[in-house]
Structure 1
Amino acid sequence: MNAQPAPGSDEEPVGSGSVPTGVRGDLKKDAPLAKLVWFKSGGAADWLFEPADLEDLTNFLSGLQPGTPIMALGLGSNLIIRDGGIPGVVVRLGKAFSSIEVKRDNVIECGGGAPGILVASKARDAGIAGMEFLRGIPGTVGGFVRMNGGAYGREVADILVDCDVVMPDGNCVTIPASDLDYSYRHSRLPEGAIVTAARFKGEPGDPEAIGAEMDRIAEERENSQPLRTKTGGSTFKNPVGGKAWQLVDKAGCRGLTKGGAQVSEKHTNFLINTGDATSADIEGLGEEVRRRVNEKTGVSLEWEIKRVGRP
């Protein structure tokens, strides 16, 4: 993978092993990723870049060789990083992209790196209802805008006004929600596009009532999900008219293990790293669950967790 120097600059290509002199953010070669994802497994990124700001990000991407793989990484909550690592560049949006501001007409403007729980809290404090469900999404704005994240009867498509996106070539565009062609856990954003900001619209509400709903969501998650384990959130998409966990249970997979990976006893649509699981263990266990569910019920479960990188 190579980065092309900007015209008139003295930058060296990324592929040469030297950090380009024009980068103001943090750029690391062969960067371990396991500590950055909830499963705590997986290989390294060829390059990991945390830009200093939007200009730093666009300049860096515009200097990359066309076709260089680019992947955005948020909290790493719904992700399996395969053991062979990630080719190209992984972009992690840090503090420079985590701002949350209250605008007019019950609109909240958020950076792509802002966690959903903080967005929900900001909306609550401003008396903006309709965003409570974000309390139940363990990720950042960029991730759940891309995948139309949802929980507790609502999804991002219900509240998104538009989003700012940096394309793989470094160009910035603002895309209205209507152009994302949202469906269940899917949008039409191209691979390598990075959501750097988004605007959500709610409705006037009572902060106390909003807070009570957020507390209910938090309590329900605590009681039903294995939150205090090395997990990755919901593993499979719910099939039309059904629940993935019920199908997994019906197939007898509760507590099923492969290496250091296990199907959660508490919630069967969650996989767990019991301590020393490889990403191959986790993904392999998921595939075995899919096989057993299909054999038992005829339903082919689709992965909700994103699986990326080299085997």
Structure 2
Amino acid sequence: MKKVFQHKTFRIFGFVALTLFTVGLSLAVGTRSVPWHEIWAGLNGRIDSIGAAAVAVRMPRTLLAVLAGGALGIAGAVMQGITRNPLADPGILGVNAGAALFVVIGIAWFDISGATTFLWLGVAGAGSAAVFVYAIGSTGQGGATPLKLTLAGTATSIAASAFIIAVVLPRNDIAGSIQSWQVGGIGGARFDTILPAFPFFIVGLLLSLASARVLNALALGEELAAGLGQNVATGRAMAAAGAIILCGTATALCGPIGFVGLVVPHMCRMIAGIDYRILLPLSAFGGATLLGLADVLGRIIARPNELDVGIVTAFVGAPFFIWTVRRQRMRGL
């Protein structure tokens, strides 16, 4: 038991180290590469050189990449555990699209501009989409099967995206900014918009981590989980609430970024197994690393311009999605 614990602890520290390396890479790499001594100067608040000034600009987007990537990674792992669906992902199940729809309606119809209001709208939209998809996917014989949930989520995502276009088309004054936001990016991050999101991220994280034991039990089946003394309904609701808050918050800040919640949990399972007490923290660090590296890659391959992280994660995630479908053949976890 001691050796197993040490082995898992080593893996967690390895993921932490990889995330820290990604943070340093994000601060150093861009249109202008910054040496490490200027990174240190920028972190200390000095902007007396071009490199240090560049670091000061990159710090909020790096922080947002860590927070949003970690949130989407955990949310994907939780959704896969709740639904026992290997294809569950905030983007594939339509949760991100629902959050985006509510934010766009708030901007276009109600002229909402406050960062905190955007966050509440994102959470409300994510929750509404999750309930709708699960309700549709649960109808008929067999209940909420992976195939029905995936189809319901895909249809919901397409419908929400179409409705967003219908809302935005008559509004030339906001069309450009919303279309750019819909791609999914972190280039315009600012500390004054990130700080109000911290309570949302913390609440979503705590709810998700607290549901780890229930998710472990659900992996054995609902009847056996109940037999082990777990309150399945309450635990599932708590886990879903945590995932919804994390998804809605990340989408409100960055736009709908897909495939992070699909790719990261599967990679973490291959490395550390299926224990959600280990899987959820690893998914947080893995998501932060993936989104940070996607941001760095987007800066490199399109110099002097940039590719938004939503485009880069789609290039990575789409082949992984196809591979997962072929490998799992739509089975439950």
Range into which the TM-score falls when normalised by the shorter chain = under 0.3
TM-score by length of 1: 0.26
Query: Which one scores higher on RCO, CA 8 angstroms, separation ≥ 6?
Result: 2
Structure with the higher strand share, 1 or 2: 1
Structure with the higher helix share, 1 or 2: 2
